[in-house]
Amino acid sequence: MPTIVVDVMPKAELLDPQGKATSGALDRLGHGKFHDVRIGKRFELSVDGPVTDEVLAEARQVADEILSNSVIEDVVAITVDGEAE
């Protein structure tokens, strides 16, 4: 069953306190080479049948209107993962 993966991240101009806290923790734990951590969401949607252009267009609409809040978040990627989960 194909899976559509929608990646949503907080907008670049917004503070991401969760990410900031994680950056601080990594630094304290000796992993300072990683910085500017940002934390977003990854949605996996199972789809019945093949992922046509139409289904993908509907997925994009769902991603923009339902899965993300366009005031504070960007949909950064919509990909199709063909393998059964």
Query: How far apart (Å, rounded) are the C-alpha atoms in residues 49 and 55?
Result: 10
* Residue 59-78 contact track with its own copies, rule CB under 8 A, x = bound: x--x---xx-----------
The three-state secondary structure class of 81 is: strand
Q: CB nearer to its own copies: give 33 or 71.
A: 33
Residues 6 to 45: which contact its own copies by CB under 8 A?
A: 7-9, 12, 19, 22, 25-26, 29, 31, 33-45
* H or E stretch at 53: helix 53-62
Torsion of CA 47, 48, 50, 53, to 10 degrees: -50
Using CB under 8 A, list all residues that contact its own copies: 4, 7-9, 12, 19, 22, 25-26, 29, 31, 33-49, 55, 58-59, 62, 66-67, 85
